Amino acid sequence: MATKLSERQRKSLFAVSRKAWNQIAGTGAYGSYEEFRRTLSTQHCGQDSFTQLSNSDYGRLYDAFAGIAGEANPAKSYQTYTPHAKAVHFLKDAIMRFELPLVYMAKLIRDKFHITIEAGWTLDDMCAMLKPGQVWQLVYTVNNRGRAKVRREIDALGLDEPPIEHHATQPSVPPERLADHFNIRGPGKR
């Protein structure tokens, strides 16, 4: 069961809906503020009363009213990413960390998932053809191949221990279990 909106969320929806109403009141599109508010709520969430809405409806409805009111949208920052967008974000991070070219990624996607890649495609275009699970496979593949490349370079240079990954400074080190999962060590940890 989804959690109902808090009193604070309902008040913010009332405030932004009133601002939106003030923007379109003279157009004659709606007879009254109440009709306007209930119509937009029904269109975007399927419920005409703010007391019946759940937390998942808040962002959509706030966006709709804020768009009409012409306001910046603070509710956007609270919306969660889709599983696909989160996986693509981690993939981009891994690609930048190991400085891999886009051509390498195109070949990897083509060979691993048998997808035809056209010239001029960006990484987002390529990832749009994949499911979130496939993007996560790419994340692990890129991380493993990147680490193997670093190990080979370290062996070629004759160093004893691989250096700490450049982004793993004390403030940015993830919690220990997550750090172990991604094989990241913080400064001073062996």
Q: For the residues of 156-180, what is the DSSP string, one character each? A: HHT-SSPPPPTT--GGGPPPHHHHH
Half-sphere exposure of residue 129, counting CA atoms within 13 Å on the CB side? 16
**Model pLDDT, residue 173:** 55
Please report, for the chain, the start and end positions of each structural domain, with discontinuous segments joined by +: 7-78, 83-159
User: 54 has which bridge partners?
Assistant: 4
Residue 81 has a pLDDT of 72
Structure tokens at 150: 């670093």
Q: What are the start-end ranges of the H helices in the chain?
A: 7-24, 33-45, 55-69, 83-97, 102-113, 123-128, 132-157, 176-181
> Which segments of the chain have a pLDDT < 70?
1, 72-80, 161-190
Q: Give pLDDT, residue 61.
A: 87
Q: What's the pLDDT score for residue 177?
A: 55
Buried b (16+ CB within 10 A) or exposed e, 122-145: ebeebbeebeeebbbbbbeebbee
pLDDT for 108? 92
Q: Name 185's Cβ contacts closer than 8 Å, sequence gap at least 6.
A: 164, 168, 179
What is the per-residue pLDDT for 182?
A: 54
pLDDT at residue 110 in the model: 92
**What pLDDT was estimated at residue 190?**
46
